[in-house]
Amino acid sequence: MTNPQEKRLLRTLSGEITDRPPFWLMRQAGRYLPEYRKVRETAGNFLDLCYNPALAEEVTLQPLRRYGMDAAILFADILLIPHALGQPLAYREGEGPVLEPIRSAAALTALNPDRIHETLAPVYETVERLSSSIPKDCTLIGFAGAPWTVASYMVEGKGSKDYAHIKQWAYSDPEGFGQLMDILVEATIAYLVRQVQAGAEVIQIFDTWAGVLADDSFRKWVIEPTKRIVEGLRTQYPELPVIGFPKGVGANIIPFVEETGVTAISLDTGTALDWAAKVLQPQLPVQGNLDPMLLVTGGAAMERRIENILRILGNGPFIFNLGHGIVPQTPPEHVARLSELIRNSSK
Ligand code: CP3
């Protein structure tokens, strides 16, 4: 076993300030890397890649070889849960994920929560492989989507601009919609527990679409389910670090931080640094938040912003990351420059 104290990410999550901030990047494995595109071609479709432990391990390791991030994030997708529950799912070129929508409590009979591990077993094998193949100072991150964000794809059937179907269902029939959310909370806890058993050291919960709700509906469909997942994990792993990423939530980030029990908070691109340093960082470690488009831009504009982020958030426990995932048009050499700047930022 490796000594957890050697791992910058784990030390930061326990509140320490390390020689330099740990860094990793959301979507660090993916289409911006030519070696990913190559593996992706041999795998066939995207789901085949997610369920192939040898190839999923390989693409998880690819960015580490180039850039030496302090963390590896399991290669998988937040929509594997609906898929494992039995909802037909396809990823279409240029269109993103497409699912057969579920829009009523009556339709929930199509989901079978009892057999998810049969479908998800290859993912656990990927985690197991990674826990022995990543560098010893590197932390292994497992993840899942938060119920609200996963449900948005399940109900809309694809990415959405207005969340018309999920909102109307949640607002008009909170009890029926709550049944879907309960299924997702339970399945997500079971899924994440298996990831931790297999070797994941940290869990990140992605709530990409949390920002479309406010106040009472934000509490009910974002804070409550996240809190239940964190509590469910902690009954089995009391010390497990969990990073929350509620994107675009504005002032709701405060009750999210205070009530969900997350260990650290991942800031989106739109979060003001001074404010985060003053209001959030005294309460918990923060992660973020370079604009992925600045990573596409590169040059002086990117470098200035990286330096600002390091200067303003670097005085407390801080994990350098993006404010959202890397986009496919990102030049790999800009990521190399970013990693060099972080690496050379030691105090
Ligand atoms: O961060 C990582 O490197 C780990 C892997 C990872 C993927 N998806 C791989 C992926 C993670 C953590 C995710 C999370 C995810 N998936 C989220 C939450 C974070 C976010 O970005 O908002 C969401 C909303 C999804 C759902 C999803 N998966 C969409 C909307 C798409 C299509 C958009 C796109 O980029 O193509 C995916 C596909 C997907 N997931 C790809 C990858 C590498 C691209 C698929 C391909 O190779 O063709």
Residue-wise pLDDT for 259-309, tens only, equals 999 999 999 999 999 999 999 999 999 999 999 999 999 999 999 999 999
- The continuous run of DSSP H or E covering 205 comes out as strand 202-207
The mean predicted confidence, pLDDT, of the chain is 97
How far, in Å, are 23, 67, 341 from residue 333 at the CA level? 17, 10, 12
Mean pLDDT of 225-237: 98
- Give domain 4-343's CATH number out of 3.20.20.210, 3.30.499.10, 3.40.50.261, 2.130.10.10: 3.20.20.210
Residue with the smallest CA separation from ligand 1 atom 3 is 27
DSSP conformation class of 109: G
Q: What is the residue with the minimal CA distance to atom 31 of ligand 1?
A: 96
Q: Is the pLDDT of residue 7 over 60?
A: yes
Q: What is the mean pLDDT of residues 20-24?
A: 98
pLDDT band at 94 (very low <50, low <70, confident <90, very high): confident
Residue 77 CB–ligand 1 contact under 6 Å: yes
Residue 5: what pLDDT? Answer: 63
- Look-up of token digits 């207005």: 162
* Cβ proximity of 186 and 126 under 8 Å: no
Cβ of 75 less than 6 Å from ligand 1 = yes
For residues 49 and 318, is the Cβ–Cβ distance under 8 A? no
Condensed to tens digits (0 to 9), the pLDDT of residues 162-220 reads 999 999 999 999 999 999 999 999 999 999 999 999 999 999 999 999 999 999 999 99
Quote the pLDDT of residue 3: 60
What is the mean pLDDT of the segment spanning 15-36?
Answer: 97
Nearest CA to ligand 1 atom 48: 46
Position 1 scores a pLDDT of 42
Ligand 1 nearest atom to the CA of residue 31, by list position? 47
Report, as residue numbers or ranges, the catalytic residues: 27, 31, 40, 77, 153
Testing ligand 1's pocket by substitution, the residue of 27, 69, 155 carrying the most ligand atoms inside 8 A of its CB is: 27
Ligand 1 atom closest to residue 208's alpha carbon, by position in its atom list: 22
pLDDT greater at residue 172 or residue 3:
172
Taking the centre of ligand 1 as the mean of its atom positions, its distance from the CA of residue 325, in whole angstroms, is 8
Atom of ligand 1 nearest to the CA of 25: 1
pLDDT at 347: 62
Asked if pLDDT for residue 10 goes beyond 50, the answer is yes
Contact by Cβ (8 Å): 171, 164: no
Give percent of the chain above pLDDT 70.
Answer: 98
DSSP string over 111-173: --GGGHHHHHHHHHHHHHHHHHHS-TTPEEEEEEE-HHHHHHHHHHSS--SS-HHHHHHHHH-
Please indicate whether residue 13 or residue 95 has the higher confidence score (pLDDT): 13
CB 148 less than 6 A from any atom of ligand 1:
no
Which of 28, 91, 212, 330 for mutating ligand 1's site (highest number of atoms within 8 Å of CB)? 91
Task: Inform me whether the pLDDT recorded for 2 exceeds 60.
Answer: no
Measured CA to CA, the distance from residue 258 to residue 185 in angstroms comes to: 20
Q: What would the mean pLDDT of 155-162 be, rounded to a whole number?
A: 97
Which atom of ligand 1 is least distant from the CA of 30?
43
Query: 75 CA distance to ligand 1 centroid (A)?
Result: 9
Q: Which residue has the higher pLDDT, 322 or 3?
A: 322
Cα-based torsion angle of the residue sequence 270, 273, 276, 279 in order, rounded to the nearest 10 degrees: -130
Average pLDDT rounded to a whole number, residues 314-328: 98
Q: How far is the CA of 109 from the centre of ligand 1 (A)?
A: 27
Residue range 112-141: mean pLDDT, rounded: 98
Ligand 1 binding pocket includes 63 (Cβ within 6 Å): no
Q: What is the DSSP string of 238-268?
A: TT--EEEEETT-GGGHHHHHHHH--SEEEPP
Residue 334 has a pLDDT of 98
CA 212 to ligand 1 center in whole angstroms: 20
Query: Residue 347 C-alpha to ligand 1 middle, in angstroms?
Result: 34
Nearest ligand 1 atom to alpha carbon 204: 12
Q: Delimit the domains of the chain by residue range.
A: 4-343
Residue 93: predicted pLDDT: 86
325 close to ligand 1 (CB < 6 Angstrom): yes
Residue 346 is predicted with a pLDDT of 82
pLDDT digits (tens, 9 = 90+) for 56-78: 999 999 999 999 999 999 999 99
Percentage of the residues of the chain whose pLDDT score is greater than 90:
97
- 110 neighbors 104 (Cβ within 8 angstroms): no
153 alpha carbon – ligand 1 mean position (Å): 13
